[in-house]
Copies of this chain bind each other. A is one copy, B any other.
């Protein structure tokens, strides 16, 4: 899938991408997701359908690319002064964003787009954890492995949001963070 990396900012390619992404986002606000088609998006973006097929392959890859753009954090994770606090703040914000109707739709688009997109979604979360771990190291705190944060905090949160159909509580995030830091 063609993605942002390597696109010269301000070049024609970047303008096409920005215009197509904007068209998708507008259409997602106006219509049911099942109604979106490549020709519809192309018309709104002012490009030809073949431009979209050439660049993104198909609709699900395009929707995955737009979803990736939406989950890319605009800031570093909150610095609360402790590893536990940082993980809690991350988990609460993640839960709030992902458990919403548009948040869930974004995750489904990432998954439907296949391996590349869903892998990059995990990499984005891991990038946030890396920053949190680096800070904890500088404070001299004991560090969990990155894999442990994925298995004990990230995975149960995502699983329950996607599958349980129940609203999660902050106390649940606290239990997961405790499990992540247990026995360090």
Contact = CB atoms under 8 A, between A and B. Distances in A.
Nearest to A104: B111
A119 interface: yes
Contacts of A108: 108, 111-112
Given A108-B111, A158-B159, A159-B159, A151 B164 contact: no
Given A60-B34, A112-B108, A156 B163 contact: no
A87 to B, nearest CB: 15
Contacts of A164: 119, 122
A15 interface: no
- Looking at chain A's contact residues, the main secondary structure is helix
Give the size range of A's interface with the partner.
20 to 34
A118 interface: yes
B162 A151 contact: no
Given A34-B60, A151-B156, A156-B155, A163 B122 contact: yes
A159 B119 CA distance: 11
B150 A159 contact: yes
A170 to B, nearest CB: 16
* 4 tightest A-B CB contacts, nearest first: A155-B159, A119-B165, A155-B156, A151-B156
